[in-house]
Amino acid sequence: MTTSFDPRAFLSTCSSSSGVYSMFDSEACLLYVGKAKNLKSRLTSYFRKTGLAPKIVSLMARIAKIEITITANETDALLLEHTLIKKWRPPYNILLRDDKSYPYVFLSDSNFPRLSIHRGAKHGKGKYFGPYPSASAIRETLGLLQKTFFVRQCEERFFKNRTRPCLQYQIKRCKAPCVGLVEPAEYAKDVHHSVMFLEGRSNVLTYELSGAIEQAVSTLDFELAIKLRNQLSLLRRIQDQQSMESGDGDIDVIAAFVNPGGACVNLINVRSGRVLGSKNFFPKTGINEQTAGIMNAFLSQYYMGNPDRTLPSELIVNVVHKDFPILIKAIYELRGQELAINHSVRGIRARWQQLSITNAKQALSAHLANRQHIAVRFDVLAKALNLYVPPMRLECYDVSHFNGEAAVAACAVFGPEGPIKSDYRRYNITGINPGDDYAALQQVLMRRFSKLKDMDNILPDILLVDGGKGQLSIARDVLNDLAVPDLVLLSVAKGIMRKAGFETLYLNNTIHELILKSDSPALHLIQHIRDEAHRFAITGHRALRSKIRKTSTLEKVAGIGPVRRRDLLKYFGGLQGLCCASITEIAKAPGISKKLAELIYVNLHSE
């Protein structure tokens, strides 16, 4: 079985964050779920040419798509991987054990209960918490509990045969119930608090400890208050670290993100405070759609379109739409359940919200850069322009300046696999009247295509210029003057509405006018490369303008060194005062002759 999955295009946009990756075949069936501290590094290892195990070779031959979910840390990735594997049972996760082999936290039923790791059948009397994805995750949890609530973790034989406290008591990780140094009632409170923590009721536990501190202070039991305060402080630090497995309630966290050419909606499901997984949606939209509108349309279709879909009590979104109150009322009438939609959130909810936003951005970036997706756009563009074969290289030119200052032209290059950034070029424009965009475009095209006479340079299949009929005429004249072979010439004008999605295209000449639909993949491709050229040009312009402004005009004057320049500016109180001075006034400054004053004056006023 062969697939058309392109690992190079996928890995070029893959995040280096920690997270979970899911591999699918051509029929969208889940094949494998894995976790990684560094997603890009881990996924890159799957596509080595040699050294792969037979299982991995077989898996790679079936992959058609890879989806990733970014998490806050590696522990969160481990927990999410465990949840997804248990839910979907992917065939290539062959080392998956059933619930009996997953480790649990076991709390024994005795006068002084013990916390321990348990595997296998649940025959013992007591409570089981879990399952956990690994023994290391349980050891981390037990270590935190041991530091916080001092519940014993020693073996029963060890506990029953002690005559004096062990080292755990000395380092303040146990209250030595084995030798009667703690009352059963006090120990029972510590066990109760540990159970609350293991059950995920951390917020309730925090309030309970806060109340106990106030009560201890009111009875002047300051020693107990200090112990409780230390427990509360450690508990809050643990809550801050556990960003994905905290909080409570059933919540859907939804983030919409829009970029030129597409949109993505990421949905994270949280049930009983635990993140179960995430999913990305790529709705078909027009270029001019706003993020809030996409969010509102998604919520209405997703929660009202399928009455059997589980409806949480709360939605957390990254944008607000004016129709949300209407949507809430409609969902209540349809499903008889109240729903809250929140945008401004704090604490754990804010972290979930930010994770959803990060996932939406990453997913859209990968989606737009996918070679198959861009190749489809190239095919649609060829049909729109009546070309016999799809183009293989697009070049787009744009000019950026500020009131004529620091004019910079840029060239962005796209191929069927996406942006070819190694072929991007910037050109500093000189020797033209400030603000003359036509002259700037003429200069950059002359510099680009005159090289064809001296070397075997690559010609674009389509040459795009940002502008209207004037820019098109300039580009056509340059190509005719240089006797460049016929190129498809396309100018992109903003159109009557002057909004994205309403562009007017001129093909080869000003007579052939073309208007594409706002949801056309061909128009998405044109806007994508146009915006990329604009971004590249304005970045270069800002860098050049910053460099010019950091350079003093006096540096260009011969005979003015750093010391004399500093003294001159100090004498006139700055460059503005110097510019307002006459030749005679400049000559009065210390160390400035009449001739040097004339050079300074001419240089300042020629700018």
Percent over 70 (pLDDT), the chain = 85
Contacts of 355 (CB under 8 A, 6+ apart): 70, 71, 72, 243, 244, 253, 268
pLDDT computed for residue 235 by the predictor: 61
Sign of the Cα pseudo-torsion (353, 271, 82, 145, in order) = positive
Whether 257 and 319 have beta carbons less than 8 Å apart is answered as: no
DSSP string, 552-596: -GGGGSTT--HHHHHHHHHHHTSHHHHHT--HHHHHTSTT--HHH
Contacts of 515 (CB under 8 A, 6+ apart): 495, 503, 504, 505
Residue-wise pLDDT for 177-233, tens only, equals: 999 898 998 898 888 888 877 776 666 776 677 777 777 777 787 777 777 777 666
Among 308-312, 342-346, 357-361, 593-597, which is the least confidently predicted range? 308-312
381 vs 3, residue with greater confidence: 381
pTM: 0.47
Q: Which residues pair with 396 in a beta bridge?
A: 412, 464
**Which H or E element spans position 263?**
strand 262-271
Cα–Cα dist 114/168, whole Å = 14
What domains appear along the chain, each with residue ranges and CATH number? 7-96 (3.40.1440.10), 108-113+133-241 (no CATH), 251-369 (3.30.420.10), 375-548 (3.30.420.340), 552-606 (1.10.150.20)
DSSP string, 318-346: SS--TTHHHHHHHHHHHHS---EEE-S--
Of the candidates 48, 134, 136, 54, the residue with the CA atom closest to the CA atom of residue 97: 134
Residue 398 has pLDDT above 60, yes or no: yes
120 vs 504, residue with greater confidence: 504
Helices (H) and strands (E) in the chain, counts: 21, 19
Mean per-residue pLDDT over the chain, rounded: 81
**Which H or E element spans position 103?**
none
Average pLDDT over residues 554-565: 76
pLDDT computed for residue 151 by the predictor: 85
DSSP string, 373-405: HHHHHHHHHHHHTT-SS--S-EEEEEEEEETTE
Residue-wise pLDDT for 25-76, tens only, equals: 888 889 988 888 899 999 999 988 888 877 788 888 889 999 999 988 877 7
Residue-wise pLDDT for 224-282, tens only, equals: 777 777 766 666 655 444 444 445 678 899 999 988 777 899 988 786 676 666 788 88
pLDDT computed for residue 496 by the predictor: 66
Residue 340 has pLDDT above 50, yes or no: yes
Cα–Cα dist 578/255, whole Å = 55
Indicate the SS3 state at residue 146.
helix
Q: Whose structure tokens read 């635990």?
A: 274
Residue-wise pLDDT for 434-474, tens only, equals: 888 899 999 999 988 887 654 446 889 999 998 888 899 99
